[in-house]
Amino acid sequence: MIKDFIAIDFETANDNRISAVSIGVVPVCNGEINHDQCKHYYICPPENNFRELHVKTHGITWNDVKDAPSFKELWENSLKDVLNG
């Protein structure tokens, strides 16, 4: 059984994969969640196209993410360092 991994969860604004509005990163070491290293980020999707079903599921709206970084900006400034190694 794999005991060391990183769980990643995306929430999206609609059915399009590039509409990510949120990402959660949860490191698991030796089968235990490393709570001190868990991260959550909002992401501004390429367009304001939120599907009602998605908003009802995760509760994230355009107002929550309009000032957040794009996925590319988030990757370059935070995520690649968090996920490296």
Query: What digits encode the pLDDT tens for the residues 40-61?
Result: 999 999 999 999 999 999 999 9
The reported pLDDT for the residue numbered 84 is 83
Which tokens hold the place of 67?
Answer: 């000032």
SS3 82: helix
The answer on pLDDT for 85 being more than 80 is no
Burial class (CB in 10 A: 0-12, 13-18, 19+), 32: exposed
Question: Which of 46, 7, 48 shows the shortest CA–CA distance to 29?
Answer: 7
